[in-house]
Chains A and B, each alone.
Chain A
Amino acid sequence: MELIVSLAIAVLTGCGVWLLLRPRTFQVIIGLALLSYAVNLFIFSMGRLKVGAAAVLEKGQIVDPQAFADPLPQALVLTAIVISFATTALFLVVLLASRGLTGNDHVDGRDHE
């Protein structure tokens, strides 16, 4: 599982960085979206990878913490997802405004063709 997760993070990051460096605004926004997926997976893996483990301890019982997943990264990922959705939506609006004002989709607003 570790290999699959790390490969997924690597591929997403690689594609994200590549797209981020492209000259068209749409490629930049897709690149940022891919990067944020990669980072969310990365935050998850920082809390150690577990399959089928609950995140919340049961009340009044002394349990082995090894059997449970770390809840904090999950809370962090949730917040990060919400924030990245919001900022991506905002970025999309600016992208459309830029397209409307400049008449092309180049990141610096000039047509290089």
Chain B
Amino acid sequence: MTSWTDHLIILPILLPLFVGAAMLLIDERYQQIKAFANLASIAIMGIIALLLMRAADLPTATGAAPIAVYRLGDWPAPFAIVLVADRLSALMLALTSLLAFASTIFATARWHRVGAHFHSLMQFLLMGLNGAFLTGDLFNLFVFFELLLAASYGLVLHGSGQARVRAGLQYIAINLTASVLFLIGVSLIYAVTGTLNMADLAIRITEVPAQDRALLEAGAAVLGVAFMVKAGMWPLCFWLPTTYAAAAAPVAAIFAIMSKVGIYILLRLSLLFFGAGSGASALFGSEWLIAAGIATILFGLIGALASQEISRLAGYAVLVSSGTVLAVAAASGKPAVTASALFYLVSSTLAIAAFFMLIELLERGRDPGADMLAVTREAYGEDMPDDPDAEEVGMVIPASMAILGWCFVGCAAVIAGLPPVSGFIAKFAMLTALLGEDTGSSISPLHWTLLALLMASGLTMLIAMTRAGIRTLWTPSERADPRVRLAEIVPIALLLLGCAAMTVQPQAAMTYMQGAANSLHAPAAYTDSVLAPVATRVKTGGGS
């Protein structure tokens, strides 16, 4: 049990902590060293995530997926802190490091110089994200959430400027309020059950006496609302498009995963605590999640059609994606539907992150008065490089507008779900899984609604994206082609390649998602591995 691979789980938390802290000591003049350290650390995290994914996907003797549990200080589980890596958390780790890698490369072209400590903040954000995906108890979840939020406050303000400070002010106020709700929910759950370990909670919730059940459900609902704020559920999402539009492009790209953290926690906790087998509270709140998801999709679609700026359009695309995952995943008790929702989550997150970075390139060279960059330059005065064009000594790609146009088409196709790209496969999988759920010839009204909404959302996003594309790419203007550096187009291509890989190998991706969904829907394996007493653990795992 003491082989070095067992310690892989804690590395995604420790590595960014140390790298981020060490980078604070390096002077701002050595940005290249910082950028290199940041990229190297993210690459190692990516490799660890892939190793964890592979380890979590190995079949065991019992047929259930192995769930890696790391006990800090080797205390038995319900009394101390545990980290848990199963298929879903390993997948989210891998997705996070891919996004972080792309957005850091993008930032090295220009953005990391417009403010202090970009690379350190990025590492701290990753520490919070990785911790939130790996943690096995509710209070550490709170700590990691605060960590990632604190880093995200810094990143939202990166580059300063009036628009960013205003959006940041509202973003911080809303998240602090959500954290208050988070604490209230956690303490209500603790008051009823006497534990904060997720696996222990899953067992104790089935044994809660009837008179305490109302308090428990109130606590879970308050906790759920806190995560819904973070996931951008309607009507708690009005901050999201403004904040994402104001943030610097690489920051907005990495923020594409931030709303998914809320979704991840909602999925995990609702299936762990209130899954089909959890007694009197089974499926508690799932109809609310479906309703909130549907409302969010509708709001996102209306917002996407109404948005004048292309960056706000991307913000509304985040909302549509969040709403779709939540409504579809909550609408069913079957793993097949959850698996397709996870596939959609990965594909849409990649495309939206690429889209955020692409927007910055497309908007460059347009009316500089309205440009965020101009605001930044104004606010920073002499701290900025004197003339951004003078910086453009890097390779200038010819016909940059054509390349950007093709990237735009790629993003639009994935976000709207046009065949044959991964967005289409995801939507098709969700539709078939929802249809396959109903036995016999009748389809429930709820599923009809969702089917119609999924189709309508594809069409609406296509209209909105086409309109934005025509306005941006086809409108004749005086301006020269935007000058694009290699470091800016490569990360976009990298993320789109991720989507392309999911398009070419949907079978492999889907099998993995299916496994992740299966283990989400069978929480017994999770609770057993976390709560296994030390004696039996040594006996069964002693061979390694």
Contacts and interface: CB of A to CB of B under 8 A. Distances in A.
Chain B's interface: helix, strand, loop or mixed, by majority? helix
Contact of A43 (B149, B157, B179, B183): B183
A90 B190 contact: no
B338 to A, nearest CB: 32
Nearest to A95: B169
B187 A42 contact: yes
A47 B187 CA distance: 8
A23 B405 CA distance: 43
B154 to A, nearest CB: 8
Nearest to B170: A107
Contacts of B160: 97, 101
Interface string A58-86: 00000000000000110010011001101
B363 interface: no
Interface in A82-105: 83-84, 86-88, 90-91, 94-95, 97-98, 101-102
A102 B166 contact: yes
A83 B147 CA distance: 9
Nearest to A43: B187
Interface in A24-53: 25, 28, 32, 35-36, 39, 42-43, 46-47
A97 B165 contact: yes
A89 B169 CA distance: 13
B176 interface: yes
Contacts of A88: 176
Contact of A94 (B168, B186, B187, B196): B168
A32 B187 contact: no
B188 A107 contact: no
A90 B172 contact: yes
Contacts of A108: 166, 170
Contact of A73 (B176, B184, B190): B190
Identify the interface centre among A28, A73, A80, A94: most chain B CB within 10 Å of its CB: A94
Contact of A102 (B139, B143, B162, B183): B162
B153 interface: yes
A98 B153 contact: no
Interface in B149-191: 149-150, 153, 157, 160-162, 165-166, 168-170, 172-173, 176-177, 179-180, 183-184, 186-188, 190-191
Nearest to A90: B153
Contact of A87 (B146, B165, B188, B379): B146
Contacts, number: 92
B40 to A, nearest CB: 28
A46 B196 CA distance: 13
Identify the interface centre among A36, A91, A102, A108: most chain B CB within 10 Å of its CB: A91
Contact of B143 (A47, A72, A83): A83
A84 B150 CA distance: 11
B172 A101 contact: no
A97 B166 CA distance: 9
A91 B176 CA distance: 9
A68 to B, nearest CB: 14
Contacts of B165: 94, 97-98, 101-102, 109
Given A76-B139, A86-B150, A39 B180 contact: yes
B399 to A, nearest CB: 39
Given A72-B190, A72-B196, A101-B162, A80 B169 contact: no
A35 B146 contact: no
A87 B172 contact: yes
Contacts of B161: 101
A36 B180 contact: yes
Contacts of A95: 169
A32 B173 contact: yes
B170 A46 contact: no
B166 A76 contact: no
B176 A39 contact: no
Contacts of A83: 143, 146, 179
A49 to B, nearest CB: 12
Contacts of A109: 162, 165-166, 169
Contacts of A91: 169, 172-173, 176
B515 to A, nearest CB: 35
Contact of A39 (B153, B168, B183): B183
Nearest to A36: B180
A46 B212 CA distance: 13
A73 B169 contact: no
B3 to A, nearest CB: 32
| 6 nearest CB pairs, A to B | A46-B191, A46-B187, A109-B166, A43-B187, A101-B162, A83-B146
Interface of B: 139, 142-143, 146, 149-150, 153, 157, 160-162, 165-166, 168-170, 172-173, 176-177, 179-180, 183-184, 186-188, 190-191, 196, 379
Given A91-B172, A102-B165, 14 more contacts: A46-B187, A46-B188, A47-B190, A72-B190, A72-B196, A79-B139, A80-B183, A83-B179, A87-B150, A88-B176, A90-B150, A97-B157, A109-B166, A109-B169
Interface of A: 20, 25, 28, 32, 35-36, 39, 42-43, 46-47, 72-73, 76, 79-80, 83-84, 86-88, 90-91, 94-95, 97-98, 101-102, 107-109
24 contacts: A32-B173, A32-B180, A36-B176, A36-B180, A46-B187, A47-B191, A72-B196, A79-B142, A80-B142, A83-B179, A87-B146, A87-B179, A88-B176, A91-B169, A94-B165, A94-B168, A94-B169, A97-B165, A101-B160, A101-B165, A101-B379, A107-B169, A107-B173, A108-B166
